[in-house]
Amino acid sequence: MIKLLEEVDQIALLGLDAADLESWVKTEGQPAFRGRQLHQWIYEKGAKNIDSITVLPKVLRFNFRSKGIEIGRLVEVARTTSTDATLKLLLRTNDGDNIETVGIPTDNRLTVCVSSQIGCPMGCHFCATGKGGLQRSLKVNEIVDQVISIREAMKRRPTHVVFMGMGEPLLNIDSVLKAIKCINNDLGIGQRKITLSTVGVPNTLPELAELALERLGRAQFTLAVSLHAPNQHLREELIPSASSYPIDTLLNDCRKYLEITNRRISFEYILLGNLNDKQEHADQLANLIRGFQSHVNLIAYNPIDGEAYQRPSKNRIHAFKRQLEIRGIAVSLRASRGMDQDAACGQLRRRYVDRK
């Protein structure tokens, strides 16, 4: 159990399941039911700290605190709410940095967009997160807390989780898989309602598939691969890391992932006005993924201050979508949410840091 605590920075209980908590309290000389109590208060009641778990005796709470044991919750430092009710939270970590998470509600679902890193090393030119580089990867408790924080702030139970916030999840595979397991088993959100988005990291997709089967018992979450361009030349213009990971190699790794998991892959494509949104680009994209068990998710660009990229017109967006449909490609257009409150990933954190 000491090892388990080391995995969450030796202080955070958030991220441990009921069996882990029961085993840990036994090492503290406590009966197993104390572990079940901790589990209930952490995941169902959303306890902020050890002192708030009043079902525990005061002396036991004092003992835990004296050993540096905490739940591992983050602190809200800012929030914005858009006219469509999309909520973005800025949360402070224990070491004083900030991460973003977003709650996207509809009548029947609440999707939480979570971050996996503080900043991002990929440097995609159209993304606000990558402008400040990478500070570090997030720990399990810091990822899971984002889901609980949105649940509390919006007073609704999240139904879906997408790893589409700050950071590249495949550069933090260990913590991301542990977080998926916790979100699934302890927060009760099915794997099929969890999406992991990646711009692509060499030699990691087959590894992700194998590790998911080994650690989760199955790989039922959705893998979303961010293409954003239909050819290698244009992709390198938008995504610097693409120069070391050719698009053909990326697609071969996607095929290996599909073979291992038997799960359809979603390809994300951000539409940038007059750059990658032409009919010829739609045809190139259709040729690129032809025969693939896949789905294309189109995303109209959310403008970022100081960047020259433009959002395409509605006509260009729908023409691109129609062309893919004509070519027999399964495609959907993601509704833009929170545009009046700087919806693009990393903008709230960037604005907050700039003010300091």
Residues of the chain with CATH 1.10.150.530: 2-66
Rounded-to-integer distance, Cα 266 and Cα 274, Å: 24
Q: What is the pLDDT of residue 5?
A: 44
Superfamily of domain 75-355: Aldolase class I (3.20.20.70)
Rounded-to-integer distance, Cα 276 and Cα 126, Å: 12
Catalytic positions are 100, 345
Q: What is the pLDDT of residue 306?
A: 67
Q: What is the pLDDT of residue 11?
A: 77
List of residues 6+ apart from 72 with CB closer than 8 A: 8, 9, 11, 12, 13, 14, 15, 94, 139, 141, 142, 145
CB-based contact 184:190 (threshold 8 Å): yes
List of residues 6+ apart from 202 with CB closer than 8 A: 244, 245, 249
Q: What is the pLDDT of residue 293?
A: 87
102-125 pLDDT, tens digit each? 999 999 999 999 999 999 999 998
Tokens of residue 69, six digits: 């044991």
Rounded-to-integer distance, Cα 187 and Cα 303, Å: 34
Q: What is the pLDDT of residue 125?
A: 87
Q: What is the pLDDT of residue 137?
A: 98
Rounded-to-integer distance, Cα 120 and Cα 268, Å: 18
CB-based contact 189:195 (threshold 8 Å): no
CATH for 2-66 is: 1.10.150.530
Q: What is the pLDDT of residue 120?
A: 95
Low-confidence ranges of the chain (pLDDT < 70): 1-10, 306, 337-356
* Rg of the chain, C-alpha, whole Å: 21
Q: What one-character DSSP code corresponds to residue 218? A: S
